[in-house]
Amino acid sequence: MYYYLIALFVIVLDQITKWLIEKNMYIGESIPIIDKFLYITSHRNRGAAWGILQGQMWLFYVITVIVIIAIMYYLYKAAKGKWLLGVSLAFMLGGAIGNFIDRVVRKEVVDFIHTFIFGYNFPVFNIADSALVIGVGLLMIQMLLEERASKEKSYGENGTHHS
């Protein structure tokens, strides 16, 4: 249940921030937050990450529905007793639904977080995108911890350490 509250928080935060951008900024307008590093820039994306697959909404609908169902299945089946896995899946679920709402309602995704990392003009993104990245990062940590625990268990059972 807590995991769905995390996902809901991500969705609400994502949609409120997108609504604020839509209502208060024109497309292309940019507000510096930290000069030469972080800006709020009103941008729209009809594709996937970095603008790939522009205009392929039907593909995004199908893929996103499959992803949402898979995440909910794993939340139900695999996350019991594994809080980090549950949190990672909750972030991914919230992010997937946040951008899915945009694609269904607006026919495009509202992006607004614009960074320049080490001089690289990083593609503009949003809260849902951030939640997806955080979720995947947490999932990778969970997988590494499980692998480490599995190795430690097998070393303990064998009584030897192999390099």
Catalytic residues: 111, 129
How far apart CA 96 and CA 118 sit, in angstroms, is: 28
Pairing mode of beta strands 120-121, 30-34: unpaired
The token duo for 155 is 């070393």
Half-sphere exposure of 30 (CA within 13 A, CB side): 13
| Residue 39 parent element (H or E) | strand 38-45
